[in-house]
Structure 1
Amino acid sequence: MSLFEGVRALLQFSTILPAGRSADFEAFAKRSYLYPLAGYLIGAVSLLPLFVIPNPLAGAALSIGLLLFLSGCNHFDGLLDLGDGLMAHGSREIRIRALTDRQIGAGGVAMGVTITLISFGSLSALAAIPAVLLIAEVASKASMATLTALGAPFRDGIHSFLYERARWWFVIPAWLLALPLFLLSLPWMAVAVALGAAVSATGILLVGARRLFGGINGDLVGASNEIVRAVVLLTFVIMLA
């Protein structure tokens, strides 16, 4: 199974973009460190409204909408499920049931609105620096690769399939794929701090998920995409705005 086949499977799994005939998912499962490549593509497409729409609020809103649309809202769905799981009271089993059921409760709505508002507000403040969105999206995908490699599953599913084929060292090439971001016309220190914030948020999610749910599932991996993006954008606001 070639690297090219792995990239095609990645794009078919994490985006709605056309990528030819159906790829062998196993090719991506054995190379899940490639997640950031999808971040480069999604981020590059989604920052275009920031160039062509002069109003920063409208441009940021359309860019956030494109991020959700291009990923098929799959990661956003995980964020909503995480919100329900966090707000559930009682035992670990109750929290897992709230996390994995198909209904969205008040916790999910609150989590979705909060993270989206943070991303939108931060991006609108940074609309004159579109590159921050690319950095945030690549970092969020590196976070997904990290949870995939290190997050022992608490149930069978798509995440357990990926986890069984991943290796702990996948974390290293996943974050190394973020190094080209330092070539962007932004202060290298700001980029380094933003990536550091992404790593910290990923670690908190990993430890928190183990404590609250006993492990990781696909919803939590998807939620990390939305949360880490918001963290990175907010970090840039603090550093640059």
Structure 2
Amino acid sequence: MKPILALLQFCTTLPLGQAADFEQFARRSYLYPLAGYVTGGIAALLVFPITSPALGAAVALAAVLILSGANHFDGLLDLGDGLMAHGSSDKRIGAMTDRNTGAGAVAAGIVVTLLAFAGLQTATPIWAAILIAEVCAKLAMAWMTVLGTPFRTGIHSYLHGFARRSFLVFAAVLALPLLLLPLPPATPGAAIAATGAIVVAMLLLGRHLFGGVNGDVVGATHEITRAGVLVLLALL
């Protein structure tokens, strides 16, 4: 349980007592999807009795953002600034890691949030959609941790140092219980496949613009995956 406790303390704002040894999770980063079951499950419970799609989508997204402490959302904003910067990789990295929030950050936050909200209020049922999206978002982080070559020292490089190729399979297995939801199996299956496609795109983007991946890119991948999966579920 210690690795799971460390995971939840890292990924959520839940009051879980004394800080666990983070290395317990770092050595088992394939556990990321379990945090998605927790945050997505809590959000699903909150929206289950809500009949209004718009209100349900708003509550669900607010819940997952609050539960995560907007930690991954911060990565999305930082990536937005990096994307809007012009010039060399060093200039883009400087913009991404700068403490100031620029227009690129605002644009990235608005666009991804709008897509997530529009997708979620259209997807049916909303409680299942937010659960699937949260698990897939955490699955994306697990895969990025394994595959994303770090371009600087930080939390991502630390986790990447412990990661093994086998973690790709272990993390995917933890996402398979989504197939047990009262939905056509192709629905969560398509969401998992879309997660893989988004991870590949983010890896290529990170390599092209920054020369690799850092924690901001991983956090942004989490948010983009959630939005992408919700849009996909709305279209299915």
**TM-score, normalised via structure 1 length:** 0.95
* Aligned counterparts of 2:190 and 2:37: Cα–Cα separation in 1: 19
Matched letter for residue 81 of structure 1: D
TM-fit CA distance, 1:149: 1.1
Which residue of structure 1 aligns with residue 101 of structure 2? Answer: 104
The 8 Å contact of residues 140 and 224 in structure 1, kept in 2 or not, is answered as yes
Conservation of the 8 A alpha-carbon contact between 2:57 and 2:126? no
1:183-222 aligned at under 5 Å gives the runs 183-222=180-219
Residue 30 of structure 1: aligned partner: 27
Could you say which residue in structure 2 is the equivalent of 1:14? 11
Distance 2:147 2:125 in 1: 36
Kept in 2: contact 1:205–1:224 (CA 8 A): yes
- What per-residue deviation string (whole Å, max 9, x for no partner) do you get for residues 108-134 of structure 1? 100100000111111111253421111
Task: Tell me the percent identity.
Answer: 53
Q: 1:55 aligns with which of 52, 56, 72?
A: 52
Q: CA deviation at 1:56?
A: 1.4
User: 1:55 Cα shift?
Assistant: 1.6
Residues of 1 paired with 2:81 and 2:175: CA distance?
31
Query: CA offsets, 1:48-68, max 9 Å, x none?
Result: 232122221111111101110
Write the deviation string for residues 7-34 of structure 1: whole angstroms up to 9, x where unpaired.
0100011100122221000100000000
SS in 2 for 1:216: coil
Q: Which runs of 5+ in 2 are unaligned?
A: none
Cross-structure match for 2:168: 171
Matched residue count: 236
Matching residue's letter, 1:70: L
- Inter-partner Cα distance in structure 2 for 1:39 and 1:227: 15
Deviates more, 1:207-216 or 1:48-57: 48-57
Is 1:128 the equivalent of 2:125?
yes
CA distance in 2, matches of 1:220, 1:176: 24
Q: 3-state SS of the aligned residue for 2:61? A: helix
Q: How far is 1:138 from its partner?
A: 0.4
Matched, 1:228 2:222: no
Q: SS of the residue aligned with 1:18?
A: coil
Runs of 4+ in 1 over 3 A off after TM superposition: none
TM, length-normalised to structure 2: 0.97
Q: Which residue of 2 aligns with 1:181?
A: 178
Task: Give me the whole-angstrom Cα distance separating, in 2, the residues matched to 1:198 and 1:126.
Answer: 17
Q: Distance in 2 between matches of 1:64 and 1:94?
A: 33
How far residue 168 of structure 1 moved from its aligned partner, in angstroms, is: 2.1
Matched AA of 2:109: G
For the aligned residue pairs, the C-alpha RMSD in angstroms reads 1.0
